[in-house]
Amino acid sequence: MQPSFAASPYGTATRWVLVAITVGIVLAALWYVRGILMLTLASIILVILFTMPARWLIRWGLKRNAAILVSLVLIVAVIMLLFAVSVNSLVDQFTTLATDTIPAGIRELTQRWEEGTIQQQFPFLQQIDVGQAIASASDQITTAIGQLGASVLPVIGGVASTILSFLIIVFMSLYFLADPSMHQEGMIRLFPLWYRDRMRFIVTRMDSTLRGWLRATLASMLFVGVATGILLGVMGIEQAAALGVIAGLLSFVPNFGPIIALIPSIAAAIVQTPDNVLWIVLIIYGVSFIQSQIVAPMLVADSINLPAVLILLGQIVAGAFLGFLGIMLAVPITAIIMVLVQEIYIKDVLGDKPLVIEGTVRTESLPEHGRDRKQFEGNSNFVG
């Protein structure tokens, strides 16, 4: 019979030191490959986009490979059709907006300030040293551009690097589409045998969360673009379609997107409809508010539920560590981290089971692996 010995405090301390060193090494390695991780996440999002129609076709009995091919052809055809229908008019509007309307709006705003017209309409602005504010803003923009170049250019900066990054995303997406099970199972095999079924369930939930976010984001971008373009056209803005496209694309980035979209809209309004500048501001932020508070929550339902403050904090942290690309992908990054924290830390480590929401109890216990494997069979891959 082997004698039993009490656990040594020195052994426990050594174990925790080793764990801390291992975690530090892993975090350092992730930091050095953060650019590749961002490109990998972008390729996964692209795969999810391509496989949304494929899942619907598979449910109707079409084989997986044929469904993926039809999905790719359909998406490319829709994009080409949209470009063929609207590219000429949009190019003309963007050219006029960039070379004529926005510079004229800036000159008009400067002239009105020098004449005192703006101060008369808004007396509280008389206490602001606009010259100092403009100089400070210019310094901040210059610094931001420098930081942007330092943080983003190694990954997606410059024409050559942008093309290379795009090709990397496309090829990784094709590899994921070709055999998603191999890549997923390869990642799951890094975990212990007893935890692999649980990890499949977590991957399934992350996949569902990203699909819900992407579905809501695409619909929200379409809503913002169409609504903004129509309302600006009603207000008399000649380049309403171009400004609507800008607002729709920038709505991909919550919180900061509407602020950027507001700049060209105000410049156009100052030149074309100066009496409606405040209405233009209300349109941009009103549409953004409806999109974020009504449209998006209705679309995502229970698939993703990120508080607004968590999204903002995620953007700040991702922007600080990952640059501009981190800000763009802050929402999916935050959603993935939220799922991992809920499933691994709260449920597996802390052992939380029930979750009380508005007086009702929803069971959040650990899944029975065998049952969940059958329930999610065929749905844990990116193409279902």
User: Distance between CA atoms of 268 and 251, rounded to whole angstroms?
Assistant: 19
Q: Measure CA 337 to chain center.
A: 13
pLDDT tens for the chain, 384 residues long, are 444 444 556 667 787 888 788 888 888 887 888 888 888 888 988 888 888 888 888 888 788 778 888 888 888 887 777 777 666 667 777 777 777 777 777 777 777 666 666 555 555 555 555 555 544 554 554 454 444 444 444 444 456 677 787 888 888 888 888 777 888 888 888 888 998 999 999 998 898 888 888 888 888 889 999 999 899 888 888 888 888 888 888 888 877 888 888 888 888 888 788 788 888 889 888 888 888 777 777 776 555 677 778 888 888 888 888 877 788 888 899 889 989 988 888 888 888 764 444 444 444 444 444 334 443 344 444 444
Whether residue 159 lies inside any domain: the answer is: yes
Token representation of residue 243: 């400004």
Question: Given the structure tokens 């597996």, which residue do they identify?
Answer: 348
Asked if 111 and 270 touch (Cβ cutoff 8 Å), the reply is: no
Let me know: does 40 contact 172? Beta carbons within 8 Å.
yes
Domain that holds residue 319: 33-375
Cα separation, 192 vs 196, in Å, equals 6
Cα angle: 173, vertex 174, 180; to 5 degrees: 80
Residue 83 confidence (pLDDT): 72
Decide: 196 and 188 in contact? Cβ < 8 Å. Answer: yes
Tell whether 276 is covered by a domain: yes
* Residue 182 neighbours by CB distance under 10 Å: 12
Given a contact cutoff of 8 angstroms between Cβ atoms, the answer to whether 155 and 165 are in contact is yes
pLDDT at 86: 66
In a domain, 19, yes or no: no
| Helical segments of the chain, H only | 9-32, 34-59, 64-96, 102-115, 117-121, 130-156, 158-178, 180-188, 196-234, 240-250, 256-272, 277-290, 296-300, 308-328, 330-340, 369-375
- What pTM, to 2 d.p., does this model score? 0.70
Residue 201 pLDDT: 92
- Given a contact cutoff of 8 angstroms between Cβ atoms, the answer to whether 162 and 156 are in contact is yes
288: in domain: yes
Name the β-bridge partners of 362.
355
Q: Which residues contact 198 (CB under 8 A, 6 or more apart)?
A: 348, 366, 367, 369
Side-chain-side CA neighbours of residue 74 (13 Å): 14
- The identity of residue 90, as a single letter, is L
Q: Are 380 and 184 in contact (CB under 8 A)?
A: yes
Residue 65 in any domain: the answer is yes
Is residue 24 included in any domain, yes or no?
no
3 class by beta-carbon count within 10 Å (0-12 exposed, 13-18 middle, 19+ buried): exposed
Which whole-number Å values give the CA distances from 375 to 81, 120, 211, 273, 368, in the listed order? 39, 67, 18, 58, 11
Residue 47 lies in a domain: yes
State the DSSP code for 179.
-
Whether 315 is in a domain gets the answer yes
Number of domains in the chain: 1
236: alpha, beta or left? (left if phi > 0; alpha if psi -120 to 50): left
